[in-house]
């Protein structure tokens, strides 16, 4: 059971890291779609570059056990922001991978919550 959970966690990490890396590279390379989206949000080019860097950092961090929990938190924050954008000016299109990615990030966070500094492990000693 423990091995299965570990496999599931690492499967999620690798999958999400790939998706975030692709999204981040797209933003940093200035793909037409991303430029159009961030123009719509009045965040072009600063916001696009900033979010792209965050996505790449999150993707890289998910590949190492020491940084995976923090990277999952960063990734969830970026995706929450993306959700806000799609709830507003961008509309609901282009969200095929959104829910699976967000769910995977939450799963990683739940499984690795003990690695965050504000865990409950040291309380009440």
Partner 1 sequence: MSKLTVDLEKVAHSVNMIIPAMTILLALLGYYVSFYFHFLTVAGLFLTVLNMSYLYGQKRHALLANFGLLAQGRYILESIGPELRQYLFASDTEERPFNRVERSEVYRKAQGVDSSSSFGTLLDADELKLAHSMFPMDKSKIEPFSLTFGEERGIEATYTLNSPVIISGMSFGALGEKAVRALSRGAKYAQIPMNTGEGGHPKYHLMEGADLIFQIGTAKFGVRHEDGTLDEDKLRALSALPQIKMIELKFSQGAKPGKGGLLPKEKITEEISQLRGVAMGSDVVSPTYHSECIDVPSTLDFIARLQEVSGIPVGFKLCIGRIDQFRALAQGMKERDIYPDFITIDGAEGGTGAAPKSFMDDVGMPLLRALPIAHRILIEEGVRDRLKLLSSGKLINAGRQLKALSLGADAICSARGFMLAIGCIQALQCNKNSCPVGITTHNPKLQRGLDIELKAKRVKNYAESLLKDHKELLAATGHKAWRDLTPLNLIAPEHDQADTSDRQEFTL
The contact set with partner 1 (CB under 8 A) reads: 41-43, 47, 77, 80-81, 84-85, 88-89, 118, 120, 122-125
- The smaller minimum CB distance to partner 1, of residues 80 and 103, is found at 80
Helical (H) or strand (E) element with 26? helix 2-29
Q: How far is the CB of 107 from partner 1 (least distance, A)?
A: 16
Q: How far is the CB of 9 from partner 1 (least distance, A)?
A: 20
Q: How far is the CB of 80 from partner 1 (least distance, A)?
A: 5
CA 66 to chain centre: 16
- Give the integer Cα–Cα distance in Å for 72 and 123: 24
- Give the integer Cα–Cα distance in Å for 92 and 90: 7
């Amino acid at each position: 059971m423990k091995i299965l959970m570990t496999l599931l966690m690492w499967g999620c990490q690798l999958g999400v890291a790939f998706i975030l890396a692709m999204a981040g590279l797209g933003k940093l390379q200035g793909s037409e779609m991303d430029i159009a989206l961030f123009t719509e949000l009045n965040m072009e080019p600063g916001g696009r570059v900033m979010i792209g860097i965050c996505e790449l950092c999150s993707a890289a961090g998910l590949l190492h056990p020491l940084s995976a929990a923090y990277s999952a938190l960063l990734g969830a924050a970026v995706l929450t922001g993306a959700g806000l954008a799609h709830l507003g000016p961008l509309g609901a299109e282009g969200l095929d991978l959104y829910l699976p990615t967000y769910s995977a990030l939450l799963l990683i966070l739940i499984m690795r919550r003990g690695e965050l500094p504000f865990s409950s492990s040291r309380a009440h000693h």
